Structure 1
Amino acid sequence: MSVSAIPMERTALLVCDLQNDFLHPEGAYGRAGQTAPEILALPERVKPLADLLRSRGGWVISTNFTLVPGRGGEPMISPHLKALRPFLAKGDFQPGGWGHRTVDTLQPVDVEVEKIAYSAFYMSRLEWVLRKCGVERLLVCGIVTNGGVASTVRDAHVRDFDTILLEDGCAAFTPQVHDVSVTALRPVCRVATVAAMLEELSAP
């Protein structure tokens, strides 16, 4: 489907997991030294596209990884994640908390949707929100390319959203993993750069 076939007001920048607890030095991952320069560069790179969408009637919708507080406020963490990221603790990615929020660079977002698994569609209200907003086209950015981004893109595809992966708007913990993941998604959706989408969407 061509970019011009869907109006701007039915287009959303879908921001996957660009949250303080992932990116900020004082967030959960920053304190643990779990980051990569490619990940930290994303908010500033994607910001011009978010600004364009806001100015032209489009949407900026973020999906925010969430650790649901359980008894005593202890987070409910899947065993595989606890083994992979043992530093996650009480208060990290807590709904309503500073760490849970989308980074300031990309604020204000129109809607923030809690997610609990790789795919932002899994057991969340994301699809409901997108349908209510009249969104037909998704420009997907965020982290990590091989995890939440890939799973969300595939689920968007099977739900018949016109999905475009922003190749340089996503990142993984290594460039090699990112590149392999993008290659695997090319049969699923269109892949474009942030600059290319800025040019196309800015056209009269």
Structure 2
Amino acid sequence: MSDLGAVDLRRTAVVTIDLTNDFLHPEGAYGRAGQGTAEMAALPTRVRPVIDAVRAGGGIFVSVQFTLVPRPGGGHIIAPHLAKLRSFLKPGDFAPGSWGNKAVDLLQPADVEIEKIAYSAFYQTRMDHVLTALGIDTLVVAGIVTNGGVASTVRDAHMRGHRIILLSDGCAAFREEVHQATLVSLGSIVETVTAADFLARPEIAS
């Protein structure tokens, strides 16, 4: 059982990082390239009950979606290090509003969609504006990769004063040891809990 204190679900958002078709679906950008892991593919099934429980208590679901902005004349705007690291990415992958850019079907629909262009969901996005306007101060975070988009978003959320509950089995990295090391490194700024233990909280299970 988790040691979490009480969670005000009315002020809570489940935030998923990059649980999208281009990352997870077999026909998405990463799937076509043979990238991904079984652990990543299993995340939506674990996270969906958490979304449902938070919504039932008056909270919301925010889907954060990595986006590659199309370049006039063809191609897309992409950081040089990412272009080198993920050379399999093609024009149209992760395009704004595209099927690949959307959360996987199991997580649809999102209450709010945030398109991000870098690791953090807060960097040059409307994330701050939306959370403030909706009175959200607690974030239940899940997604991929633990050491990338998840860690960057969590650290930015911490700097903005949010309470962060990180679903330890709702996140994954390309290597399990990297995932576990990141959970340890974030331990001082988050409350870490499994999805099952979060769902067992009295304010949710009652």
TM range (shorter): over 0.9
Aligned 8 A contact 1:73 1:91 in 2: no
Please list the CA deviations of residues 5-54 of structure 1 after superposition, one character each: whole Å capped at 9, or x if unmatched. x5211101001000000000000000000111110000001111111122
What is the CA-CA distance between 1:81 and the residue it aligns to? 0.1
- Percent identity of equivalent pairs: 54
Whichever residue aligns with residue 129 of structure 2, its letter is W
**TM-score, normalised to structure 1's length?**
0.96
Aligned 8 A contact 2:4 2:191 in 1: no
Aligned 8 A contact 1:13 1:50 in 2: yes
What is residue 156 of structure 1 aligned with on the other side?
Answer: 157
What is residue 172 of structure 1 aligned with on the other side?
Answer: 173
What is residue 66 of structure 2 aligned with on the other side?
Answer: 65
Q: How does 1:112-191 map to 2 (within 5 A)?
A: 112-191=113-192
What is the CA-CA distance between 1:73 and the residue it aligns to? 3.7
Please list the CA deviations of residues 162-186 of structure 1 after superposition, one character each: whole Å capped at 9, or x if unmatched. 1111100000011111001111100
Q: Tell me how far apart the structure 2 counterparts of residues 37 and 2 of structure 1 sit (CA, whole Å).
A: 29
Unaligned segments of structure 1, at least 5 residues: none
Whichever residue aligns with residue 41 of structure 1, its letter is A
Q: How does 1:71-82 map to 2 (within 5 A)?
A: 71-82=72-83
What is residue 199 of structure 1 aligned with on the other side?
Answer: 200
2:53 matched to 1:52?
yes
Q: Tell me how far apart the structure 2 counterparts of residues 40 and 34 of structure 1 sit (CA, whole Å).
A: 11
Q: Tell me how far apart the structure 2 counterparts of residues 183 and 174 of structure 1 sit (CA, whole Å).
A: 15
What is residue 11 of structure 1 aligned with on the other side?
Answer: 12
Whichever residue aligns with residue 119 of structure 2, its letter is Y
Whichever residue aligns with residue 11 of structure 1, its letter is T
Q: Tell me how far apart the structure 1 counterparts of residues 65 and 5 of structure 2 sit (CA, whole Å).
A: 27
RMSD across aligned positions (CA): 1.3
Which ranges of 4 or more aligned residues in structure 1 deviate by more than 4 Å?
none
SS in 1 for 2:81: helix
Q: Tell me how far apart the structure 2 counterparts of residues 21 and 74 of structure 1 sit (CA, whole Å).
A: 16
Please list the CA deviations of residues 73-103 of structure 1 after superposition, one character each: whole Å capped at 9, or x if unmatched. 4110100000100011100000010000011
Whichever residue aligns with residue 144 of structure 1, its letter is V
Q: Tell me how far apart the structure 2 counterparts of residues 72 and 100 of structure 1 sit (CA, whole Å).
A: 21
